[in-house]
């Protein structure tokens, strides 16, 4: 094993039988606290082995910053960062980042890794000057990053289809291929004649077939939920109380999250039931439910980032922009000061800022056609219309999450669809219950409102992209033809510390998505 900076020229080949414990000792031991290292090992031993199996090589890459091209190397510090990002998120900043110029550089680089479920899209292209060597161009989570792949290398990828028989070239529009497929590289640079993929690991040698792709967070959660639901169906009473039908990974993210949470809660109640239950099977199912619960924030974030990414790619193919309008003034206490305190604002503002960063982050992925406009009321409408006009963007490529009053105002009339003219997708929040609760309790630290802004934004984007509306309590009404969605969130109070931690987890999931 080598401790050099890892790259295509110096692959780090780990025996398949080597466990994460050894990897933690090698990579992380001198860089993280003993407590953090121990927690990573504990999570591994609890059943997360599939997350790291086969991820045994890192690569050099270039990225482009505002100051110009930068040569980057995926070194041991960033390898450590990836594990912490995925497995021990609340200890993220314990990593030594002194070699980075600023926190933003560090956070951006952790999103670009190809380890532990990274989702870098790449396209194979033949290099004319080097016959038989194929370049891998990243299209996501990196800026024009590249890697040389020689004929005969084994590469594990997550698959994306292109036209049958076509050569893979930069700029091809791609969407995720369902399921897992073993692929083969040939000397002409074609992958099964129809696929591009997500690079996971490279291994030198004469092997020409790649291992099956690792499931995405959406697939993993759906698979775990279905294992839990299958067990619950064996318990007649619980199986009839909750919706125990199989979960479809293509459902709206919020629907998968809701059903997964219900299933996890049902499992927790089984210890109190009088039924004779196989204790070993129950323990195994409880462990699956626990792992599933840890991934739900990531799935919600995937519903936002993944959907925005897909919509932006579709829009770009038509020389269009994706314009996302966001209003947050409807959140009680978000912009008000009482006795020098702004509890809701302090808690939720970092998350809102990260949502606003979606435009910047997608630009770093090579998508410069996304605009995120955060404003209120009439001003939001004016800016949306102005941006659409300046960029010659059709109103059907405008998506808005604001208050119900805002989207129903006169200022939004030009954005609302008619029977003959489809326009913007408008989601409005009916904040009656939130306002009523806030009117009663105000800035009480133990009665702060949890705002499901991630859930509402993911639903908004996914329905705007064409998915069917889920049956969820938070959805008050949905008119598919009018492209209008109304949310009615209930008041969910919690103490301020818990609220901060909840929003922080969601923010970290959004960063890692």
Q: Which of 93-102, 210-219, 346-355, 448-457 has the lowest mean pLDDT?
A: 93-102
Residue 174 and residue 138 in contact, taking contact as beta carbons nearer than 8 Å: no
- Cα separation of 193 and 167, whole Å? 7
What pLDDT, on the 0 to 100 scale, is given for residue 233? 80
What pLDDT, on the 0 to 100 scale, is given for residue 506? 93
What pLDDT, on the 0 to 100 scale, is given for residue 393? 96
Of 3-7, 41-45, 478-482, highest mean pLDDT: 478-482
Please work out, in degrees rounded to the nearest 5, the angle formed at the alpha carbon of residue 352 by the alpha carbons of 350 and 357.
95
What pLDDT, on the 0 to 100 scale, is given for residue 419? 83
Q: How confident is the model at residue 102 (pLDDT cuts 50, 70, 90)?
A: very low
The full DSSP string for 37-76 is HHHHHHHHHTT-HHHHTT-----EEEEEETTEEEEEEB-H
Please report, rounded to a whole number, the percentage of residues in the chain having pLDDT higher than 90. Answer: 33
- As a whole number, mean pLDDT of residues 465-476 equals 92
Asked if residue 348 has pLDDT above 70, the reply is yes
What pLDDT, on the 0 to 100 scale, is given for residue 345? 87
Q: Which of 269-273, 309-313, 433-437 has the lowest mean pLDDT?
A: 269-273
Burial (CB < 10 A; 0-12, 13-18, 19+), residue 161, is middle
Tell me the per-residue pLDDT of 175-185, one tens digit each, with 9 for 90 and over: 333 323 333 33
- Cα separation of 465 and 479, whole Å? 14
What pLDDT, on the 0 to 100 scale, is given for residue 137? 33
Residue 300 and residue 458 in contact, taking contact as beta carbons nearer than 8 Å: yes
Of 211, 242, 237, 199, the closest CA to residue 113 belongs to 199
Of 167, 155, 164, the closest CA to residue 197 belongs to 155
CB atoms within 10 A of CB 270: 16
Tell me the per-residue pLDDT of 19-37, one tens digit each, with 9 for 90 and over: 444 544 444 444 445 665 5
Asked if residue 104 has pLDDT above 60, the reply is no
What pLDDT, on the 0 to 100 scale, is given for residue 467? 92
H or E segment and range at residue 157: strand 154-161
Q: How confident is the model at residue 306 (pLDDT cuts 50, 70, 90)?
A: confident
Asked if residue 442 has pLDDT above 60, the reply is yes
What pLDDT, on the 0 to 100 scale, is given for residue 511? 84
Asked if residue 330 has pLDDT above 80, the reply is yes
Backbone region of residue 295 per phi and psi (left: phi > 0; alpha: psi in -120 to 50; beta: other values): alpha
Asked if residue 436 has pLDDT above 90, the reply is yes
Phi, psi of 324 (to 5 degrees): -110, 120
Residue 286 and residue 269 in contact, taking contact as beta carbons nearer than 8 Å: no
Q: Which residue has the higher pLDDT, 484 or 228?
A: 484
- Cα separation of 1 and 13, whole Å? 7
Asked if residue 365 has pLDDT above 70, the reply is yes
- As a whole number, mean pLDDT of residues 110-133 equals 30
- Cα separation of 136 and 125, whole Å? 7
Contacts 24+ apart (CB under 8 A), 309-314: 309/140, 309/362, 309/365, 309/367, 310/175, 310/465, 311/397, 311/399, 311/461, 311/464, 311/465, 312/362, 312/367, 312/369, 312/370, 313/173, 313/174, 313/367, 314/173
Burial (CB < 10 A; 0-12, 13-18, 19+), residue 446, is exposed
Q: Which residue has the higher pLDDT, 55 or 461?
A: 461
Asked if residue 326 has pLDDT above 90, the reply is yes
What pLDDT, on the 0 to 100 scale, is given for residue 440? 92
- As a whole number, mean pLDDT of residues 423-448 equals 93
The whole model's pTM is what? 0.60
Q: Which residue has the higher pLDDT, 430 or 291?
A: 430
Residues 6+ apart with CB under 8 A from 406: 327, 330, 376, 377, 380, 381, 412, 428
Tell me the per-residue pLDDT of 244-284, one tens digit each, with 9 for 90 and over: 788 888 889 999 999 999 888 888 877 666 566 777 888 88
CB atoms within 10 A of CB 232: 23
Asked if residue 197 has pLDDT above 60, the reply is no
Q: For residues 161, 167, 169 and 175, what is the CA-based torsion angle, rounded to 10 degrees?
A: -10
Residue 439 and residue 449 in contact, taking contact as beta carbons nearer than 8 Å: no
What pLDDT, on the 0 to 100 scale, is given for residue 42? 58
HSE-CB for 487 with a 13 A CA cutoff: 27
Q: Which residue has the higher pLDDT, 361 or 395?
A: 395
Q: How confident is the model at residue 117 (pLDDT cuts 50, 70, 90)?
A: very low
What pLDDT, on the 0 to 100 scale, is given for residue 274? 56
What pLDDT, on the 0 to 100 scale, is given for residue 198? 34
Tell me the per-residue pLDDT of 487-507, one tens digit each, with 9 for 90 and over: 999 999 999 999 999 999 999
Mean pLDDT of the chain: 66
- Cα separation of 368 and 347, whole Å? 30
Of 442, 463, 457, the closest CA to residue 489 belongs to 457
């Amino acid at each position: 094993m080598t401790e050099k900076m890892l790259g295509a020229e110096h692959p780090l080949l780990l025996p398949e039988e080597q466990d994460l414990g050894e990897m933690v000792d090698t990579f992380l031991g001198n860089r993280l606290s003993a407590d953090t290292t121990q927690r990573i090992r504990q999570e591994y031993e609890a059943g997360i082995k599939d997350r790291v199996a086969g991820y045994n090589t890192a690569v050099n890459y270039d990225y482009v910053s505002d100051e110009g091209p930068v040569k980057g190397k995926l070194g041991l510090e960033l390898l450590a960062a990836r594990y912490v990002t995925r497995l021990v998120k609340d200890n993220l900043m314990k990593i030594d980042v002194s070699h980075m110029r600023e926190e933003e550089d560090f956070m951006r680089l952790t999103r670009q890794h190809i380890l532990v479920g990274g989702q870098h899209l790449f396209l194979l292209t033949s290099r004319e000057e080097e016959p038989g060597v194929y370049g891998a161009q990243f299209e996501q989570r990196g800026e024009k990053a590249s890697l040389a792949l020689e004929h005969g290398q084994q590469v594990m990828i997550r698959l994306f289809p292109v036209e049958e028989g076509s050569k893979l070239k930069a700029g091809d529009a791609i969407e995720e291929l369902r399921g897992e497929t073993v692929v083969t590289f040939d000397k002409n640079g074609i992958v099964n004649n129809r696929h591009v993929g997500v690079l996971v690991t490279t291994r030198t040698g004469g092997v020409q077939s790649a291992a099956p792709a690792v499931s995405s967070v959406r697939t993993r959660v759906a698979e775990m939920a279905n294992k839990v639901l299958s067990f619950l169906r064996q318990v007649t009473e619980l199986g009839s109380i909750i919706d125990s039908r199989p979960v479809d990974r293509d459902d709206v993210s919020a629907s998968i999250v809701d059903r997964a949470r219900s299933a996890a809660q049902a499992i927790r109640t089984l210890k109190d039931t009088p039924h004779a239950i196989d204790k070993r099977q129950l323990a195994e199912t409880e462990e699956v439910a626990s792992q599933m619960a840890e991934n739900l924030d990531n799935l919600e974030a995937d519903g936002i980032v993944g959907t925005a990414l897909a919509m932006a790619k579709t829009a770009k193919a038509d020389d269009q922009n994706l314009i996302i309008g966001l209003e947050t003034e409807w959140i009680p206490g978000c912009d008000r000061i009482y006795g020098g305190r702004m509890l809701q604002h302090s808690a939720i503002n970092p998350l809102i800022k990260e949502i606003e960063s979606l435009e910047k982050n997608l630009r770093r992925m090579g998508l410069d056609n996304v605009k995120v406009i955060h404003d209120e009321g009439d001003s939001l409408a004016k800016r949306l219309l102005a941006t659409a006009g300046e960029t010659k963007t059709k109103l059907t490529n405008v998506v808005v999450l604001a208050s119900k009053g805002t989207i129903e105002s006169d200022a939004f009339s030009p954005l609302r669809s008619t029977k003959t003219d489809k326009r913007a997708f408008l989601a409005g929040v009916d904040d009656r219950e939130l306002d009523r609760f806030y009117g009663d309790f105000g800035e009480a630290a133990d009665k702060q409102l949890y705002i499901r802004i991630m859930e509402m934004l993911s639903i908004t984007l996914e329905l705007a992209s064409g998915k069917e509306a889920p049956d969820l309590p938070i959805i008050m009404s949905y008119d598919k033809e009018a492209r209008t969605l109304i949310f009615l969130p209930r008041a969910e109070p919690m103490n301020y510390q818990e609220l901060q931690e909840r929003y922080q987890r969601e923010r970290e999931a959004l960063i890692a998505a």
